[in-house]
Amino acid sequence: MAFHVFSILPPQASPQVKRNYYHFYADVIWFGVLNGSALSFLAVYATRIGANAQQIGLINAAPAIMAILFSLPFGVWIEPQSKRRATLITALLMRLFYLPLFLIPARLSVDFQIPIILVMVFLMYIPATGLGVAFNALFAEAIPIQDRAQIAGIRNVFFAIISILTSLTCGYILDHFRFPLGYQIVFAIGFFSAALSTLHLGLIRPATDERPFSNNQFDMNHDQEEKTRGVKYPSKNIQSLANNSLHLEILKSPFRSVLWMMFSFHLAQFLPLPLFPVFAVKVLAVSDQTISIANAIFFLAMLIISSQVSRLVGIFGNQKVTGLGLIFLSGYPFILSLSYTPVPYLAAHLLGGTGWGLASSTMFNFVLEKAPSETRSAHLAWFNLFANAGILLGSLIGPSVSSIIGIRWALLFFAIFRFWSGLNIVRWK
């Protein structure tokens, strides 16, 4: 099987489109640094200072709670906006919160750190909700549909390489600097990389920030007509305007099946997620260096499979590859539930990285395929709402189930549920 890691630009792309692709790549490179540093070790740090599974679950649930509250309002706000501008504003507002993170370990006592981290994470994910909607719309607007699988796969390659190098570097830092200074350095690296990632998002210039003139003109006239009728007949049109803004008709369209599949995907993904750092730190008692090696294995597996995503999508399609990714992800908690030494723990990350490399490259493209371009932002907002409902329930239910039946049995049960959910996505027609 041939590898195509170095074919990073479609040959037919114009100079402006190529510049956009370079900025998409630079964005994900710096996001890889952020992922290998602050994102990878925040939950580990919280666990080491005494956070329990429920508190880790709240950290994981924060994005979902904020998304459920703000996805639809952000979707309404973003749809008429320049997607580049909306992406830049929400990215700036979100990533400013990484600035105080590296000060927390030195400035606050342990008793206050976990509540402060929780509050900060909840606030940070208000603009992050808008960023999720805006970036996906920007990605669709700036990249032709025939190039999306290739660009997404290559972004995953860069993301994996940089995450591997950063994770190993951060593991070395944490192993050679006293606690909590090592974590301060790791969090400072995260803030710096978040700033540069945001810069490159702001430099992306789609061919046009709006839809084609004829469509845009039609929508403007249609909106003006609705406003005029609203003045004359307000009681008749309040519900109509609400439906038009929120696009409630999406819930009755064929896209509804996609929404439920994405709910199941994220529920299955996040049920065991709060248990992973607790199991690693408190049950297996692995070191930060071992955790960094496990992260490197995860991203190495992700790198290898990402180089083949475009080929796999050409054979099976985005939907089936997404489901296959979740099936591979089921191996992560399954092997972990049987682990008593670091070796199976490391092996679990091999399957997890393979699964996430498949799913993360194709899931959004699968959703984009099913979302009409005329109301793409609204469809993506509903997707974010359903996905984050799954994240919220998974993050909160997972620790509760673990406290009732034990962490090993919970991991095994959640592995079975991941496998079942992935199989349903593969078989859906």
Residue 342 falls within a domain, yes or no? yes
Query: For residue 414, what pLDDT is reported?
Result: 94
Domain containing residue 380: 15-204+253-427
Reported as a single tens digit per residue, the pLDDT across 383-414 is 877 887 888 888 889 888 998 999 999 999 99
Q: Note whether 152 and 305 are within 8 A (CB).
A: no
Is residue 244 situated within a structural domain?
no
Residue 415: per-residue pLDDT: 94
Q: How far is it, in rounded angstroms, from Cα 130 to Cα 227?
A: 26
The answer, yes or no, to whether residue 227 has pLDDT greater than 60, is no
Rounded Cα distance between 385 and 66, Å, is 10
Q: Given pLDDT bands bounded at 50, 70 and 90, which one contains residue 246?
A: low
Q: Does residue 125 carry a pLDDT above 90? A: no
Q: CA 426 to CA 429: how far, in whole Å?
A: 9
Q: Is the peptide bond preceding residue 180 cis, with omega within 30 degrees of 0?
A: yes
Whether 414 is covered by a domain: the verdict is yes
> Taking phi first (over 0 means left), then psi (-120 to 50 degrees means alpha), and beta for anything else, what does residue 139 get?
alpha
Question: How high is the pLDDT of residue 23?
Answer: 86
Distance CA 72, CA 98 (A): 25
- 286 torsion bin: left (phi>0), alpha (psi -120 to 50), beta (else): beta
Q: Name residues whose C-beta falls within 8 Å of residue 343's C-beta, 6 or more positions apart in sequence.
A: none
Q: What is the Cα–Cα distance from 235 to 9, expressed in whole angstroms?
A: 53
Q: Which residues have C-beta within 8 Å of that of residue 115, sequence separation ≥ 6? A: none
Condensed to tens digits (0 to 9), the pLDDT of residues 412-421 reads 999 999 999 9
CATH value at residue 59:
1.20.1250.20
Is the pLDDT reported for residue 329 higher than 80? yes
Say if residue 223's pLDDT is above 80.
no
Q: Identify the residue with better confidence: 214 or 48.
A: 48
pLDDT of the residue at 133: 78
Q: Is residue 404 part of a domain?
A: yes
- Asked if the structure places residue 230 within a domain, the reply is no
Query: Which pair of structure tokens corresponds to residue 232?
Result: 């004359």
Residue 222 in any domain: the answer is no
Give the model's pLDDT for residue 409: 95
Q: What is the pLDDT of residue 213?
A: 32
Mean pLDDT of all residues in 68-90 = 79
33: confidence class by pLDDT, cuts 50, 70, 90: very high
**Where do the H-state alpha helices sit in 108-147?**
110-142
327 lies in some domain:
yes
The angle at the Cα of 290, spanning 287 to 296, to the nearest 5 degrees, equals 145
Which whole number is the average pLDDT over 58-76? 79
Q: Is residue 121 situated within a structural domain?
A: yes
Percent of the chain with pLDDT over 70: 84
Number of domains within the chain: 1
| 130 or 416, which is more confident | 416
Over residues 265-281, mean pLDDT: 89
Q: What is the pTM of this model?
A: 0.69
- 342-370 helix and 255-270 helix, angle to the nearest 10 degrees: 170
